[in-house]
Amino acid sequence: MIAAQPLSDLLPPEALASVDSSPLFGGRPPEAIVRPASVEEVAALLSWASREGVGVLTMASGHRVAPVTREGRFVALRMDRLNAIEAYEAADLTITAGAGAPFSSVTRALGENDQWAPFDPADVAARSLGGLVAAGESGPLRMGYGELRNHVLGARVVTGDGRTLDLGGRVVKNVAGFDVLKAVVGSRGGLAAITSVCLRAFPRPEVDRVLVRTEPTVRAAAGLALAVGTAPVLPASCVVVDRLSERGERAALVVRLHGSRATVDEEQVRMERHVGVPFEVVGDVGTGADAASSESTRRLLEGVRDHVKSDGTVVVASVRPSRLPRLLEVVDRLGPLALSCDAYTGLVRVEADPERITELDLLRRDVIALDGAIRQERISSTAMRGSADPLSPHDDRRDASAAGRTALARRLETAFDPAGALWPART
Amino acid sequence: MTGPLPPRLERELRSVVGADHVITDPDRLMVYESDGLTAYRVAPRAVVLPASTEEVSEVVRLLHGADIEIVPRGAGTGLSGGALPTPDGVIVGTARMNKILSIDAADRLALVQPGVVNARLTEATRPHGLYYAPDPSSQSTCTLGGNVAENSGGPHCLKYGVTSRYVTGLTVVMAGGEVVRLGGAGHEASGELDLVGLFVGSEGCFGIATEIEVRLLPLTEGVRTLLGIFDTMEAAGHAVTSIIGSGLMPAAVEIIDKATIEAVEASIFAAGYPTDAGAALVIEFDGTEAGLDADADRAERCCLREGAREVRRASSETERAALWKGRKKAFGAMGRIAPDLLVQDATVPRTRLPEVLAEISRIGERYGLKIANVFHAGDGNLHPNLLFDRTDAEELARVEKASHEIMSLCVAVGGTITGEHGVGVDKRGYMGLVHDEVELDMLRRVRRVFDPGGLFNPGKVVPDAVDAGALPEVSEVAS
């Protein structure tokens, strides 16, 4: 039994949600779900958990929850009440919001000033700002805009033992001390609980042109994507999907070009000249596009973005982009599964069947042979009930320094969370 | 312990790197007494110049075994005293590690040693249609290793971002000599903590980067450069806000104030700026040719709307160089007005620039100091230059007080104490303005994660704890 009295002494009743309401934890619910409304309440909880030896599984919106495979008592920390847009300085292109703020509400606020946060990982519309930052996922738009981690200007976080830290700031250039914030972004709640985030915003491009080229196979589309990657232009993103529902059962390469209309027109010509084939202009989105074209194109983009369903088991693998054709060759062995591939970073997301452990294990071996990395991003609710984990959660390179790297990571986790109270959202 | 190295250790170091690459001669050591911040000078016990990861590892192992402090050093162009020697320590310089190990044009990556000069990488990758984006003002001499240590910026990082955006992997030598590979292209899916991001900007306190993998960008097709002439700094500051607020994304927006214009125009670097102007803005757009004129036209309209008396536009590379000349030669020109110059570095929210600049001017008047401003206005990164004569102790004291007020001012409006020069020794005393003791304690803990013994670059970045003994050692809490 949880020490209910002490926790309820620490936190107001409205910060303690009913446990019955959550089917999210793969059959092993937490002893309590805590929904704090202030950073002080988060600090009080973590301080208590460290003292009591209770694990804390941080959930931002609760949209993505890892299976609970660890033994021992735990509570869930849900950030959905920390959801305010705290400051939006449109002229400075910065926005600060609570970790539980839906990313869609941040996007909506920015949109009022023709600004946006150019991050498009799968399911971004359903995720919270804090969850996105904790996962550190940028999506394919990192090609044109850089990774999410470079645009998180600051964050307020609470360490595993309840210390509150303001990391970074609200300015775009800041080297006042070690860049601890970079380590927190993408740490999946393993270093600290993020309570608010200051993000750099960008002006919306006048035109967001979406170009599609269908090909008979994923490998053919990937080959074309590599050619785009060496063109004398830098697209906003370059994604391969195994099929585009609107276009039938064919693989497709989807390229986005951003800028003024004149720039985008010219870049399309240069790119097509470089790769030697024409693309279909699906449409333009953005301030300089007509509404009908924008709406249908936006739907297509959402389809591409969320093509690999998040309610299944998702495996992500990466290699250098030039090795993508070989990676896709080995992925083929898993059968005709939903797949998307970010050609800029060499990242492939594939909906996998967790029962086919042998194939996944072979895939891991091949990815490592290509000097790549592989991990399980999501596990289906069915598989969550079991304990099988066919893939190591960490990079499994057999290089000589793997042990040193792991030791550094462990020591860093200890510096932030001496008692090990935080249960990171990874298997 | 100060003084010469123990003879046996010196022999061992020479056997690792070659007899000629261990410097102990006091005359030759003088070169290493300071970095670009010459106000601080300390003679090191020795300088060791290894040529490979293996040599760095062995040198660090030997020094670590002898409990000798290690100060990593690149080209020594840093402006915060980050490479300032300690009297007990040895400098490990990366000057001989100057090879570009590979250029992978297909994946747009390069692997370099830390002693490669920043501008040389772009020269080497240009034939592949690629370049390295971060461009610190010292790019013709500063090295990639130093850029990694300082997370360097530059005029064009307004559009392209700073060093950390481009570093994808590192090989580092840790305390004790252990070699660890961090990150690397193709490992996006690893799910590991971002140790590369944490290492970049660690100012030599975590270890020595011996191989650096960086991302390259395709060369831009065209460029448009404008020079806006304004009667006041305030009007120029408003023009910056107007340009960025209009949705434009210039590659660079740099401001030069009246004092700097006067210094430049009176020097051999005269760039043709009107000497009665209150401020000048250098605005640059780059990218695909087709959209550049439209962008430049919009920026020009923003300037004129905010009261620019004139906007010049370069129509050739020669004219572009001329427009930039006043900006790039500003620091050299200031030597005419005063024998010494303290280049300050702070960042404020861009919209606060006009009021901050006015207040800096008042601070200068209050302390009887000439302060010239030339800086990266597009991202609010100020460089107030305090002119003085170091032989005048009383004036030096006023410089220190004025610096402190400027830093406090920048923090008070929501900014920070350094945008790109780093903390080093110069800003260590200001860290309390932006971090409370809990945060400083965390910085110390993170440092010990990488260097439990505290031998890498001691006395830099983080001020000592009031009671250092009260802090738990990472090794203790980890056990």
Task: Please tell me whether residues B46 and B124 are part of one structural domain.
Answer: no
**B470 half-sphere exposure, CB direction, 13 A CA radius:** 7
Looking at the partner chain, which of A172, A234, A321 has a beta carbon nearest the beta carbon of B379?
A172
Last residue of a domain, one of A203, A222, A241: A203
Residue B449 and residue B397 share a domain: no
Interchain proximity B423–A177, CB inside 8 Å: yes
Determine the pLDDT at residue B334: 86
For residue B473, what pLDDT is reported? Answer: 34
Does residue B267 share a domain with residue B208?
Answer: no
A398 touches chain B (CB under 8 A): no
- Contact call for A178 and B446, based on CB within 8 A: yes
Other C-beta atoms lying within 10 Å of the C-beta of residue B301? 15
Does A2 contact chain B (CB < 8 Å)?
Answer: no
Tell me the CA distances in angstroms from B451 to B217, B444, B455, one per residue in order.
34, 10, 7
Residues of chain B neighbouring A163 (CB-CB closer than 8 A): 438, 442
> By the 8 A CB rule, do B208 and B60 touch?
yes
Residues of chain B found within 8 Å of residue A259, distances taken between Cβ atoms: 287-288, 291
Cα distance between residue B454 and residue B205, in whole Å? 8
Task: Answer whether B240 touches A (CB < 8 Å).
Answer: no
CA nearest A267: which of A206, A217, A215? Answer: A206
Residues A95 and A157 in one domain: yes
Quick one: B21 and B119 in the same domain? no
| Predicted pLDDT of residue A357 | 66
Q: Which amino acid is present at B179? A: V
Structure confidence by residue, pLDDT tens digits, A140-184: 999 999 999 999 999 999 999 999 999 999 999 999 999 999 999
As for how many domains chain A has, the answer is: 4
Could you tell me if A242 and A216 are in contact, meaning their C-beta atoms sit under 8 angstroms apart? no
Asked if the Cβ–Cβ distance from B349 to A260 is below 8 Å, we say no
Q: Are residues A359 and A376 in the same domain?
A: yes
Sheet holding B90-93, edge to edge: B22-23, B46-48, B90-93, B70-73
Does A224 reside within a domain? yes
* Nearest by CB: A179 against B200, B427, B438: B200
ipTM metric: 0.94
Burial tier of A128 (Cβ tally within 10 Å: 0-12, 13-18, 19+): buried
Both A215 and A295 in one domain: the answer is yes
A142 and A57, same structural domain? no
The answer to whether residue B445 scores a pLDDT higher than 80 is: yes
Residue A2: which pLDDT band, with cuts at 50, 70 and 90? very low
CATH code of the domain covering residue B31: 3.30.43.10
Question: Are B446 and A408 within 8 A, CB to CB?
Answer: no
- Tell me: do A8 and A68 sit in the same domain: yes
pLDDT score of B176 more than 50: yes
| Nearest chain B residue to A413, by CA | B478
Distance (Å, whole) CA B233 – CA B279: 5
Choice between A392 and B352, residue whose per-residue pLDDT is larger? B352
User: Are residues A150 and B161, on separate chains, in Cβ contact within 8 Å?
Assistant: yes
Chain A, residues 91-130, CB within 8 A of chain B, namely: 91-94, 114
Backbone φ and ψ for B118, nearest 5 degrees, come out as -50, -55
pLDDT, chain B, mean: 93
Residue of A171, A228, A234 to mutate when probing chain B, most B C-beta within 10 A: A171
Q: Which of A151, A171, A203 is the endpoint of a domain?
A: A203
B interface mutation test: which of A112, A178, A426 has the most B CBs within 10 A? A178
The answer to whether A318 contacts B189, with C-beta atoms less than 8 Å apart, is yes
Do both B153 and B166 map to the same domain? yes
pLDDT the model gives residue A66? 58
B24, with CB counted inside 10 A (0-12, 13-18, 19+), is: middle
Residue A366 parent element (H or E): helix A357-369
Residues 50 through 109 of chain B touching chain A, CB cutoff 8 Å: 104-109
Supply the CATH number for residue A180's domain. Answer: 3.30.465.10
Q: B103 in a domain, yes or no?
A: no
Which of B192, B381, B434, B475 should be substituted to probe chain A, the one whose Cβ sees the most A Cβ atoms within 10 Å? B192
Compute φ and ψ for B46, nearest 5 degrees.
-165, 165
Question: Percent of chain B beyond pLDDT 70?
Answer: 97
Residue A23, domain extent: 4-80
Classify residue A320: in a domain, yes or no.
yes
Interface test with A, best of B288, B381, B479 (most A CBs within 10 A): B288
A375 touches chain B (CB under 8 A): yes
Which candidate from A93, A260, A395 shows the least CB-CB separation from B244? Answer: A93
B367-405 residue pLDDT tens: 999 999 999 999 999 999 999 998 999 999 999 999 999
More confident residue, A382 or B118: B118
Instruction: Give residue-wise pLDDT tens across range A130-151.
Output: 999 999 999 999 999 999 999 9
- Do B212 and B295 fall within a single domain? no
Give the separation between CA A205 and CA B128, rounded to whole angstroms.
28
Residue B101 in any domain: the answer is no
Q: Is residue B118 part of a domain?
A: yes
- The residue count of chain B comes to 479
Instruction: Note whether A168 and A253 are same-domain residues.
Output: no
- Alpha carbon of residue A108 to chain centroid: 19
Q: To 10 degrees, what angle do helices A218-229 and A324-331 make?
A: 160
Using a CB-CB distance cutoff of 8 angstroms, which residues of chain B are in contact with residue A322?
A: 104, 106-107
Q: Is there a domain that residue B131 lies in? A: yes
Clarify whether residues A169 and A188 are in a common domain.
yes
CATH number at residue B396: 3.30.70.2740
Mutation target for A interface from B53, B104, B111, B187: give the one with most A CBs within 10 A: B187
Question: A373 pLDDT exceeds 80?
Answer: yes
pLDDT digits (tens, 9 = 90+) for B216-254: 999 999 999 999 999 999 999 999 999 998 889 999 999
pLDDT on residue A394: 43
Option in B248, B287, B462 nearest A177 (CB): B462
Across B355-462, the runs of DSSP E, i.e. the strands, are 370-376, 381-382, 384-388
Q: Are B111 and B212 in contact (CB under 8 A)?
A: yes
pLDDT at position B477:
29
Question: Which among B177, B193, B218 is the end of a domain?
Answer: B218
Q: Per the CB < 8 Å rule, is A203 touching B419?
A: no
- Residue A256 confidence (pLDDT) above 70: yes
**Size of chain A, expressed as the number of residues it contains:** 427
Count of helices and strands (H, E) across chain A: 13, 20
CA distances from A175 to A171, A191, A374, A387 (A): 10, 21, 32, 43
Look up the domain containing B175 and give its range: 108-218
Q: Are residues B404 and B446 in the same domain?
A: no
Q: Please tell me the distance from the alpha carbon of residue B418 to that of residue B150, in angstroms, as a whole number.
A: 11
Helices (H), A161-290: 180-184, 218-229, 261-275
Would B2 be classed as within a structural domain?
A: no
The verdict on A116 and A194 lying in the same domain is yes
Question: Pick from B218, B235, B266: which residue ends a domain?
Answer: B218
C-beta atoms surrounding B28 within 10 Å:
10
Task: Say whether both B263 and B300 belong to one domain.
Answer: yes
Q: In terms of Cα–Cα distance, which of A339, A343, A254 is closest to A297?
A: A254
Distance CA B368, CA A301 (A): 60
How many beta-carbon pairs under 8 angstroms link A with B? 276
Question: Three-class SS of residue B336?
Answer: coil
Picking from B107, B153, B415, the nearest residue to A322 by CB comes out as B107
**Contact between residue B261 and residue B372 where contact means Cβ atoms under 8 Å apart:** no
CB-based contact A301:A285 (threshold 8 Å): yes
Cβ separation A175–B217 shorter than 8 A = no
Q: Is A425 on the interface with B (CB under 8 A)?
A: no
Torsion angle, alpha carbons of A175, A176, A178, A179, to 10 = -50
Total tally of structural domains belonging to chain B: 5
Q: Are residues A9 and A117 in the same domain?
A: no
Nearest to B203, CA basis, from B477, B453, B451: B451
Q: In what order do the strands lie in the sheet with A192-200?
A: A85-89, A94-98, A192-200, A152-159, A164-168
Helix A357-369 to helix A324-331 angle, to the nearest 10 degrees? 170
- CATH, residue A218: 3.30.70
Provide the H-helix boundaries in A151-260.
180-184, 218-229
Separation between Cα atoms, residue A418 and residue A411, nearest integer Å = 9
Mean pLDDT score of chain A, rounded to an integer? 87
Q: Are residues A267 and A348 in the same domain?
A: no
Q: CATH no. for residue B173?
A: 3.30.465.10
A371 and A274, same structural domain?
A: no
CATH of the domain at B267: 3.30.70.2190
- Domain-terminating residue out of A305, A321, A337: A305
* CA–CA min distance A259, chain B (Å): 8
The answer to whether residue A418 sits within a structural domain is: no
Q: Is residue B199 part of a domain?
A: yes
Please report which confidence band the pLDDT of residue A299 belongs to, taking 50, 70 and 90 as the band edges: confident
User: What DSSP assignment string belongs to A74-99?
Assistant: EEEEE-TT---EEEEEGGGTEEEEET
Q: What residues in B contact A226, CB-CB < 8 Å?
A: 106
Count CB atoms within 10 A of the CB of residue B438. Answer: 12
Nearest to B288 by CA among A207, A289, A111: A207
Question: Is residue A412 a part of any domain in this protein?
Answer: no
- Indicate the residue type of A148: L
Assigned domain for B198 exists: yes
Distances (CA, A) of B129 to A346, B13, B124, B165, B167: 21, 42, 10, 20, 19
Same domain, A194 and A138: yes
Quick one: average pLDDT of A54-62?
82
Which residues in B84-221 belong to E strands, given as ranges?
90-93, 100-104, 109-112, 130-131, 167-173, 179-183, 208-215, 217-218
Q: How confident is the model at residue A391 (pLDDT cuts 50, 70, 90)?
A: low
In a domain, A425, yes or no: no
Q: Is B127 on the interface with A (CB under 8 A)?
A: no
Same domain? B467 vs B422: no
Residues B189 and B225 in one domain: no
Judgement on whether residues B301 and B201 belong to the same structural domain of the protein: no
In chain A the first and final C-alpha atoms are separated, in Å, by 25
Domain boundary among B183, B218, B253: B218
Domain identity same for B423 and B449: no
Tell me which chain A residue has its CA closest to the CA of residue B435. Answer: A166
Judge: A175–B161 Cβ closer than 8 Å, yes or no: no
B196 and B474 in contact (C-beta within 8 Å)?
no
Tens of pLDDT, residues A201-220: 999 999 999 999 999 999 99
Is residue B120 situated within a structural domain? Answer: yes
* Among A331-345, B286-300, B353-367, the least confident range: A331-345
Minimum CA–CA partner of B349 in chain A: A171
* Stretch 192-231 of chain B: residues touching chain A, C-beta under 8 Å: 192-195, 197-198, 200-203, 205-206, 217-219, 221
